[in-house]
Amino acid sequence: MSIPSTDVLDRLEKSIGRLADGTAPLDELVAAHEEALKLLDEADKELDALRRQADELSRSIGELKTTSLPPDLPLGGGGQ
């Protein structure tokens, strides 16, 4: 199950806040640390997926740019 990015960041921030506070019992700190690790892994997977999508779009745009246009095609959209 994929968690939406904003939810991952919000939960990660709360988890890190519990760790930074340091006043919680050890078992809660360990649980917060484990949750933070899981959330970081989820965020990393989402980032990798977004990078793949960006790479794919970049390749598609590059293919469009390299497609040869007819030499007599008017450029500029003047429509005159």
Mean pLDDT computed over 22-39 = 89
Integer Rg of the chain from CA: 24
In the block, residue with structure tokens 């991952």: 8
The answer, yes or no, to whether residue 42 has pLDDT greater than 80, is: yes
Look at 78 and 9; give whichever has higher pLDDT.
9
Give percent of the chain above pLDDT 70: 76
Give percent of the chain above pLDDT 90: 18
Mean confidence (pLDDT) of the chain? 81
Model pLDDT, residue 65: 72
In the block, residue with structure tokens 């892994």: 41
